[in-house]
């Protein structure tokens, strides 16, 4: 992926992520998050992870975010008021965050040695990132986590139904 | 070609944004969305390294992270709805009966 | 490099040039077709110098002109950005989903083979499912941004219905993936060109009739057509989630409805009815079971395939319009029961039965 495509995409992702945490109205935050997730799927396609990109759109942007929007609409939330207390804590957290973010930019200016492994310039095998390739791994090496995830989803569904039910007193 | 460290830098920036959002926002739903942002930053790191090593294990892990995130969001939002029904507020500062 | 981009652009223009006029014509077929079914005349008042063209002038010229020139009203108290964004977010995924639909086999131009599919992705069908999942946002935003509690109700109902029916749709598609062993729609269409027992074209519906029914019902429910149109129930919620939209925004919501009809028809045709396959037409020409052959040049073959695809799409669009004007509307709990308690278990049983049959035959 050339720098010409990476930097605009990365800038967009960071802008939408900032929109998530800085927006006052929860629905606008949720929409910024949807945009972020969609752009992450685009980034995944550039990284040759096609199935994961499709799953990101179907599961994250298409189901989880819709659940968020549902809850926001159901509870009929309004825009938060700009909060007055905790001014010092907000400043401190933001400052430490900015410092960390700037530290993470260090590799751009002081590139270290090459990391082990084939690297981005190596040729990609044909089955990389396709459903066939990941399916093979899922059913051979990772079959136990796969099955446990099924049970986990069942437990989550049951828990969500029980918790969100109105008590018929 | 962009080296893999650029992707990791982007992942760290996203993670920091999520963490700072979790700390400074008091609306429970926005805090939840910051958690999703942190999970996505981790996903990006996994996929970038998976491409670097040409090993699909990273993408399988991303598959599981997405599933666990879905389960967590379902239960978490159910808790939030139940909480809202009791307390009529979603401000994390006002739900403090159990604090000292 | 430049030539390839040009080829892709021409393919995009060809597909859009088929889809958008069809969406417009569907409006006309809907009005005149419903008039025929109801034994009345339908819209025929607008005319140019006395030429009314059986309602074509009305639907294709007067209506879009009216939509384009109406005042754009944003209700007081509504979120202006979201109100303007909702129709765009609604229309974008359904148009983009056409990128993986194949509309013909290979076209030979000079010494270049052009695969008649805009984006030969490895994950073909999942891309379409992803785009249909994104279609929920338009409904949610449309309902929320109207500052109208009945639009909100329509939006909530609509999004709940759409996410409920994505599941049986996905299960029917999984059954087809199991049958053909591939995710790419072009490969699925090609695999349906084989002949069973020497004379029967091996179309998807012969292998998976149950999946066809599940997919058709789920597809009609996804596009919120009658009998599943409670989110926009015209007698109760006026237009449901797009009540407060006027002018071009309303036209975009309306067009999304018709483009969804076209894409569900196209998917049904590709997955279950051979897509662009004409029975007994192969790359060199017709090869009938008796042994008789008709040799045809490549261009004629491709044109026949594109015509076949278009014909199948038109057939299923007409079928959905017939269903719309024949069957009464489902009640909301009946709708949800059908999705979760009817189609979902059927989809699972179908997948398990398909998997067992495939394993036994190997």
| Predicted pLDDT at C98 | 92
Checking if the pLDDT of C232 tops 80, the result is: no
- B93–chain A nearest CA distance, Å: 10
What is the rounded average pLDDT for all residues in chain A?
Answer: 87
| Predicted pLDDT at A85 | 66
Residues of A in contact with B57 (CB under 8 A): 137, 141
Q: How do the domains of chain B map onto residue ranges?
A: 4-87
User: What integer is the mean pLDDT of A19-41?
Assistant: 93
Residues of C in contact with A52 (CB under 8 A): none
| Predicted pLDDT at A84 | 67
Q: In 3D, which of C274, C308, C280, C304 has the Cα closest to residue C292?
A: C280
**pLDDT confidence tier of residue C234, bands split at 50, 70 and 90:** low
Cβ pair A31:C141 closer than 8 A: yes
Q: Classify domain B4-87 by CATH number.
A: 1.10.287.3510
Our answer on whether A and C touch (3+ beta-carbon pairs < 8 Å) is yes
- A97–chain C nearest CA distance, Å: 30
Residues of A in contact with B40 (CB under 8 A): 36-37, 40, 60
Between CA C287 and CA C337 the distance in angstroms is 47
Cβ pair B36:A51 closer than 8 A: no
A62 vs C: CB within 8 A? yes
| Predicted pLDDT at A53 | 94
Q: Which helix (H) or strand (E) covers residue C137, if one does?
A: helix C124-144
Between CA A129 and CA C61 the distance in angstroms is 48
Q: In 3D, which of C183, A139, C133, A148 has the Cα closest to residue B60?
A: A139
Q: Do C339 and C165 contact (CB within 8 A), yes or no?
A: yes
In degrees, to the nearest 5, what angle opens at C-alpha C93 toward C-alphas C96 and A19?
Answer: 120
C155 vs A: CB within 8 A? yes
Residue B30's contacts (CB-CB under 8 Å, 6 or more residues apart) are A20, A21, A26, A29, A80, B21
Report strand pairing: C285-287 vs C112-115.
unpaired
Residues of A in contact with C138 (CB under 8 A): none
Between CA C71 and CA C64 the distance in angstroms is 14
pLDDT in tens, B14-57: 999 999 999 988 889 999 999 999 999 999 999 999 998 888 89
| Predicted pLDDT at C279 | 86
What is the rounded average pLDDT for all residues in chain C?
Answer: 87
pLDDT in tens, C20-72: 888 888 888 888 888 888 888 877 777 777 776 777 777 778 888 888 888 88
- A9–chain B nearest CA distance, Å: 10
Cβ pair A70:C129 closer than 8 A: no
Cβ pair A120:B51 closer than 8 A: yes
Cβ pair B70:A63 closer than 8 A: yes
Q: Classify domain A1-81 by CATH number.
A: 1.20.120.1200
The structure's pTM equals 0.91
A50 vs C: CB within 8 A? yes
- Of the candidates C127, C144, C152, the beta carbon closest to that of A54 is on C127
Interface probe, candidates A50, A63, A71, A84, chain B, greatest B C-beta count within 10 A: A71
| Contacts A–B by Cβ distance under 8 A | 227
C144 vs A: CB within 8 A? yes
Q: Do B71 and A156 contact (CB within 8 A), yes or no?
A: yes
User: What integer is the mean pLDDT of B78-83?
Assistant: 89
Between CA C255 and CA C234 the distance in angstroms is 17
Checking if the pLDDT of C269 tops 70, the result is: yes
Checking if the pLDDT of C260 tops 60, the result is: yes
User: What integer is the mean pLDDT of C100-127?
Assistant: 87
| Predicted pLDDT at B64 | 95
User: What integer is the mean pLDDT of A109-116?
Assistant: 76
pLDDT in tens, C309-340: 999 999 999 999 888 888 888 888 888 999 99
| Predicted pLDDT at A111 | 76
- Of the candidates A37, A93, A108, the beta carbon closest to that of B20 is on A93
| Contacts A–C by Cβ distance under 8 A | 68
Examine residue C227 and say whether the peptide bond preceding it is cis (omega within 30 degrees of 0).
yes
Strand order in the sheet with C285-287: C281-282, C285-287, C293-295
Cβ pair B75:A18 closer than 8 A: no
| Range(s) of the domain holding residue C314 | 79-361
**pLDDT confidence tier of residue C356, bands split at 50, 70 and 90:** very high
| Predicted pLDDT at C235 | 57
pLDDT in tens, A50-100: 999 999 999 999 999 999 998 988 888 777 777 666 788 888 888 999 998
Domains in chain C, number: 1
Neighbouring subunits of B (3+ Cβ pairs under 8 A):
A
User: What integer is the mean pLDDT of B70-91?
Assistant: 89
Between CA A140 and CA A144 the distance in angstroms is 9
C319 domain-assigned? yes
């Amino acid at each position: 992926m050339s720098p010409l495509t990476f930097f605009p995409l990365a800038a967009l992702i960071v802008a939408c992520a900032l929109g998530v945490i800085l927006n006052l109205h929860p629905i606008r935050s949720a929409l910024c998050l949807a945009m972020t997730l969609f752009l992450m799927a685009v980034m995944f396609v550039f990284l040759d992870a096609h199935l994961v990109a499709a799953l990101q759109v179907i599961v994250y942007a298409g189901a989880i975010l819709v659940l968020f929007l549902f809850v926001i609409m159901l509870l009929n939330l309004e825009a938060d008021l700009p909060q007055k207390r905790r001014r010092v804590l907000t400043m401190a957290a933001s400052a430490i965050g900015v410092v960390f973010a700037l530290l993470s930019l260090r590799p751009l200016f002081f590139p270290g040695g090459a990391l082990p492994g084939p690297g981005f310039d190596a040729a990609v095998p044909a089955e990389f990132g396709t459903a066939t390739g990941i399916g093979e791994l899922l059913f051979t090496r990772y079959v136990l986590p796969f099955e446990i995830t099924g049970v986990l989803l069942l437990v989550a569904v049951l828990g969500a139904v029980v918790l969100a039910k109105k008590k018929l007193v | 070609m962009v080296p893999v460290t650029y992707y990791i830098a982007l992942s760290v920036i996203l993670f920091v944004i999520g963490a700072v959002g979790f700390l400074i926002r008091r609306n429970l739903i926005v805090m939840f969305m910051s958690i999703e942002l942190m999970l996505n930053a981790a996903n990006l790191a996994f996929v970038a390294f998976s491409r670097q090593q040409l090993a699909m294990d990273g993408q399988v892990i991303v598959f599981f992270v997405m599933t666990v995130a879905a389960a967590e969001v379902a239960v978490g939002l159910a808790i939030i709805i139940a909480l809202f029904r009791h307390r009529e507020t979603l401000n994390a500062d006002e739900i403090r009966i159990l604090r000292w | 490099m430049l030539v390839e981009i040009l080829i892709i652009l021409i393919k995009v223009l060809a597909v859009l040039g088929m889809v958008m006029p069809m969406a417009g014509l569907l409006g006309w077929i809907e009005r005149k077709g419903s008039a025929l079914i109801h034994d009345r005349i339908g819209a025929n008042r607008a005319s140019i110098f006395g030429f009314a063209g059986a309602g074509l002038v009305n639907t294709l010229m007067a209506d879009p002109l009216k939509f384009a020139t109406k005042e754009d009203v944003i209700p007081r108290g509504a979120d202006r950005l979201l109100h303007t964004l909702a129709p765009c977010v609604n229309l974008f995924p359904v148009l983009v989903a056409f990128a993986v639909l194949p509309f013909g086999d290979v076209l030979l131009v000079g010494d270049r083979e052009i695969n008649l599919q805009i984006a030969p992705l490895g994950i073909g069908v999942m891309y379409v499912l992803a785009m249909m999942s994104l279609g929920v946002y338009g409904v949610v935003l449309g309902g929320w941004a109207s500052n109208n509690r009945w639009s909100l109700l329509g939006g909530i109902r609509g999004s709940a219905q759409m996410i409920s029916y994505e599941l049986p749709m996905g299960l029917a598609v999984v059954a087809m993936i199991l049958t053909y062993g591939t995710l790419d729609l072009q490969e699925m269409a090609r695999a349906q060109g084989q002949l069973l027992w020497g004379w029967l074209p091996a179309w998807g519906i012969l292998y998976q009739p149950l999946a066809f029914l599940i997919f058709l019902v789920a597809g009609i429910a996804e596009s919120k057509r009658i009998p599943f149109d409670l989110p926009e129930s015209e007698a109760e919620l006026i237009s449901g989630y797009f009540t407060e939209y006027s002018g071009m925004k309303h036209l975009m919501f309306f067009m999304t409805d018709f483009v969804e009809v076209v894409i569900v028809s196209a998917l049904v045709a590709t997955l279950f009815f051979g897509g662009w396959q004409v029975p007994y037409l192969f790359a060199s020409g017709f090869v009938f079971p008796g042994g008789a052959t008709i040799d045809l040049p490549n261009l004629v073959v491709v044109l026949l395939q594109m015509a076949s695809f278009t014909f199948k799409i038109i057939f299923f669009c007409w079928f959905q319009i017939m269903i719309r004007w024949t069957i009464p509307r489902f009640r909301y709990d009946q709708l949800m029961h059908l999705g979760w308690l009817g189609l979902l278990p059927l989809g699972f049983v179908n997948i398990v039965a398909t998997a067992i049959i495939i394993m036994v035959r190997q």
